[in-house]
Chain A
């Protein structure tokens, strides 16, 4: 095989051009098909991982807190209920205000406020940005890389823009603080829920 090309020493420049044209064309074509196939082959795996490791625990814990707080709130609102230990009206009122505040703050929390960062995704987006000024790419590849870079950049802008918008948004720490207040409230009402509220910890980024 090697000898074949050696014999063509005269036409080496033509061969080189041809060689690189073929190389680019078929490599790119394979790359395109490969990226589609690779993506399809792995998206279910990614889905299952995100579902089990982040989505389910995050949702479950926030839901638990919301469920508990909503019951405590409606229980305290219902003033006709004989209070467990006949407490002064003002004390009960204070508990009600506390329950109201916890419940309304928990209701404000969104998935996007507490979801941990996907560091792998961010890392990969950075890699795209770095590759953007690659040296010997043909026009098509360069164009594609440019588009990738722009898309990633837009995604980053979106993310950072969201961060600006969300300056007043609740954080994981806020949710943990609400959790502690809820636990105190349940304790003061003398309730044993069968779960340890204080053990609830949202996954941090």
Chain B
């Protein structure tokens, strides 16, 4: 009877130790998740919007040039009708890209459809930019400078992109089943850590 009671108490004690540890760990892990996610989100947002901002600045400046020339030269004005239209299309497409990551919509189906739209819109914007370039007779910018300068950033981007379409990626790390001592680099603040397990989870963009 004595030992039975002892055992029961022990089980309870184990569970409460585990729970207390879990709570502390969760709070700590949350800080690291926020930090690493933030670093990744900053890079990804920068990368996409540097490109879009370039197109926007490009379109706005050409519009201003065409307007200015059009006022002075009627022939140029007529000639510039086509580029003007492409500029309008391009600016319109850019304005449709959300400036927040739509992943935090609660409705899952809505989220998925919105996600699919963005790569399509980006594709549309790029092709509209190229069409505009050819109508103006200028050479398009080949790649955003970042992608050329910093390959590491590009890798990250691909990693995030890879999660598109995985609506519910199977949770790879079941908290209950992680072997003690498994070395998941949850503490890393550097890029190498960022690329590891968190990105597999669902940093869906």
Contact = CB atoms under 8 A, between A and B. Distances in A.
Interface of A: 1, 4, 22-23, 25-52, 54-72, 74-75, 82, 84, 107, 110-112, 115, 118, 120-121, 124-125, 128, 140, 147-148, 151-152, 154-155, 158, 186, 189-195
Task: Name the prevailing secondary structure of the A interface residues.
Answer: helix
Given A22-B17, A36-B29, A124-B35, 16 more contacts: A34-B28, A43-B40, A44-B201, A46-B40, A49-B34, A51-B41, A51-B100, A52-B41, A52-B99, A52-B101, A62-B46, A65-B57, A111-B42, A124-B31, A190-B68, A194-B60
Contacts of B41: 46-52, 54-55
Interface in B16-69: 17-65, 67-69
A48 B101 contact: yes
Contact of A64 (B25, B57, B73, B205): B57
B38 A49 contact: yes
Contacts of B202: 44
B53 to A, nearest CB: 2
A111 B17 contact: no
Given A34-B28, A60-B49, A155 B189 contact: yes
A34 to B, nearest CB: 3
Contacts of B23: 30, 34
A88 B42 CA distance: 46
Contact of A47 (B20, B37, B64): B37
8 contacts: A36-B25, A36-B184, A46-B40, A47-B203, A50-B37, A66-B53, A67-B53, A155-B188
Given A31-B24, A151-B187, A191-B68, A43 B203 contact: yes
Interface residues of B, number: 97
A37 B175 CA distance: 6
Contact of A40 (B40, B52, B198): B198
Contacts of B121: none
A51 B203 CA distance: 11
A164 B54 CA distance: 30
A30 B39 contact: no
Nearest to A85: B72
Nearest to B72: A84
B190 A64 contact: no
Contacts of B28: 31, 34-35, 38
Nearest to B185: A151
The 3 closest A-B pairs by CB, nearest first: A55-B45, A63-B53, A67-B57
B48 A35 contact: no
Contacts of B9: 1, 4
